[in-house]
Amino acid sequence: MPWPPPVTMAVFPFSPRNFSSSHTSRTALLKTIYLRTIHLQAIYRRSGGTTGKMAQRYVRSVGAYLPLLRLDRKAASGAFGWSGLAMPRSGRRSVAAWDEDALTMAVEAGRTALAGHHADSVVFASTSAPFRERLQANLLCEALGLPRDVSVSDVAGSRRCGVSALRQALLNGGGDALVAAGERRATMPGSAFQLTWGDGAAAALIGDDGCARLLGSACINVDFVDVYVSDERPLPYASEERFVREEAIALAFVPAIEAACANAGVSAAEIALAVVHEPVGGVYKGLAAVAGLKAPNLCDDITAAAGDLGAAHALFGLALALERGKPGDRILVAGFGSGCDALVLEMTAPCDGSASAETSLREGAALTNITRFLSLAGSLDLDWGPRSELDQKTAASVLARHGRDMHGFIGGRDARGNVQFPKTLIPVSPLADGPEPLADVRLADLEASIVSVTADRLNFTPDPPFHFGLVQFDNGARVSMEFRDIEGATPQVGDRVRMRFRVKSIDRKRGFRTYFWKAAPLERPKLEEG
């Protein structure tokens, strides 16, 4: 089927002669699509087209991550009930801890996708990255233990930047490429975004073989402002929902998806699983009616259980599709934001890391305290008193010397086999007789046992109590660490823990933050149904 398709009755169920001055909303939408597609055809012919050619590139593995806490939307909207503001009441919203941001969550998703694999290039995608002038993909590589000669880049500017990076990795050769997306977006208190958006991350590793093959793709770029954030307005401002719903379908989704299907040589009805990132609710229903899609949209499940994950949403949905799908299934992935990138994939085998999506949706801890949520989200600035006023400045020289070992959690092994962290010029072993070089030992991917633990409400932490103590790795290394993801009872001596990449400190005076690893329980609790 050629692109652009001819504007005929086969493409649109109503012809122009059927439109009347008293047409219904659906008829108006179809008329808009008809007229916009004629316009896009002209653009396509002038530009030479933007559809992607089929490439023998595959998704090799995926990873998905959600923070532990889940806000109950019903409880939250009830707290705002006095205001009369319209807020969603069903489902949950994932809530990042104070020491989680877009980068730390992308690291966790990337760890899952990279398990047993290697990457030659890394792309970090986010619209809420913590730094404007600092290459965060570089930090991502250090946290994942990748070498310094890996090609890295950051992408931003639109919620579809994750899918755009995924499409480019699938279309372009050059080794294995990791695309990791994370979001922790700020919102206005009381806005619908505060409950509909969620925090989380997802990643995909692309290579020359794997579990899902690219059949075809397309890209439609439109300066369509459904929501924006700017220097002058750092919190999101949204356009009217009905306008967004109708115009997004006509301007972006239909042209991109029909072109991707044509490029792949499949019909919309052959799609088994859809991963379509909706800007507002109801878009997929209208899109499916127009484009002939019969598949369920897995993004609905993510939105209900965790919220809209921004740049990570479609990548998370892809991981979910590869977990629920079977070989031979055709999967549609569509990312939206200032246009649409659409991909059609064929699942060829079970996918490494795909179980992390289902597990992330199923596990977590309920959060019902609205003031705690507002504090964690940065919407409520509490007065923590003098104990919170310590200077958190980090010298650039310290990061230059020790940053790689901190971000990668790299200890050292001496000539006698003793492992320690941090490294020192003279090993800490009593048998050491002078300076000696230490071999690198990565501790980030190893489990450890708790030797001691304290729950402290005197030391400052933005989310008390402050849990800290000593852990011992199976290789003998002992490290003093913070404990995170603890809801309820304090863990016990002897309990097993895993390492999580987190924000170590935030220097609010200078707007800087540092990263390190913290210990967390091996298992997360199961969320109750509801």
The rounded Cα 1 to chain-centroid distance in angstroms is 34
Average pLDDT over every residue of 118-137: 97
Please give the pLDDT value at position 88.
85
Q: Is the pTM of this model over 0.95?
A: no
What would the two tokens of residue 240 be? Answer: 């009217």
C-alpha–C-alpha distance, residues 400 and 319, integer Å:
36
C-alpha–C-alpha distance, residues 117 and 99, integer Å:
28
Please give the pLDDT value at position 89.
85
Domain ranges of the chain: 58-377, 393-521
Give per-residue pLDDT as tens, 156-212. 999 999 999 999 999 987 799 999 999 999 999 989 999 999 999 999 999 999 999
Helix (H) or strand (E) holding 397: helix 396-408
Please give the pLDDT value at position 55.
52
Phi, psi at 182, each rounded to 5°: -145, 150
pLDDT at 10 over 90: no
Identify any residues that bridge with 153 across adjacent strands, giving them in sequence order.
Answer: 123
User: 3-state class of 439 per DSSP?
Assistant: strand
pLDDT at 17 over 70: no
Helices (H), 215-340: 241-248, 254-264, 283-291, 299-305, 313-324
Strand order in the sheet with 410-413: 419-420, 410-413, 439-442
Please give the pLDDT value at position 391.
85
Angle (CA) 324 326 328, round 5°: 140
Please give the pLDDT value at position 4.
47
Strand order in the sheet with 466-473: 478-482, 466-473, 448-456, 496-507, 512-521
pLDDT at 45 over 50: no
Give per-residue pLDDT as tens, 83-115. 888 888 899 999 999 999 999 999 999 999 999
pLDDT > 90 in the chain, percent: 81
- Do 262 and 216 form a contact (C-beta atoms < 8 A)? yes
Mean pLDDT of the chain: 90
CB atoms within 10 A of CB 508: 11
pLDDT at 52 over 70: no
- CATH number among 3.40.47.10, 3.30.499.10, 1.10.1740.10, 3.20.20.80, domain 58-377: 3.40.47.10
Query: What burial letters (b/e) apply to 269-287, b meaning 16+ CB within 10 Å?
Result: ebbbbbbbbbbbeebbebb
Please give the pLDDT value at position 86.
80
Give per-residue pLDDT as tens, 304-333. 999 999 999 999 999 999 999 999 999 999
pLDDT at 42 over 70: no
CB atoms within 10 A of CB 300: 16
Please give the pLDDT value at position 16.
36
Burial of 489: CB neighbours in 10 Å, binned 0-12, 13-18, 19+? exposed
pLDDT at 519 over 60: yes
C-alpha–C-alpha distance, residues 69 and 369, integer Å:
11
